[in-house]
Amino acid sequence: MRVLIVDDSPTMQDIVSMTLKSADFDVLQAEHGHEALKVLETSTPDLIITDLNMYRMDGFEFVSRVRQQAEHEFTPILFLTTESSEDMKQIGRDLGATGWLLKPFDPVELLRVVKSILQ
């Protein structure tokens, strides 16, 4: 299974990537929404994990643009962010996000959620 990680923190990208690779996931990475949209032009991930607060294009705009593409209309999208307000979560759901996890995250919980989404 292939997962695209979208996060402007190289450290966070590395931590999430190592966690997923330890469970035999193929990992793609992008620094922000614009870069991730370019990745999606040539790759079809089974899941997208995105931060919310990123420069150039935030997570909400990225998810909105992904959902406009027919080939990614139903690709699961998981927000992994420090934002915890119910209003933000509702906006994410309204845009088509599948789930929401908070940073800092427990690697075991991340894998549990990812595997649950991909079943």
- What percent of the chain stands above pLDDT 70? 100
Work out the burial of residue 1: count CB atoms within 10 Å of its CB; fewer than 13 is exposed, 13-18 middle, 19 or more buried.
middle
What CA–CA distance (Å, rounded) separates 90 from 85?
9
For the stretch 78-116, pLDDT in tens is: 999 999 999 999 999 999 999 999 999 999 999 999 999
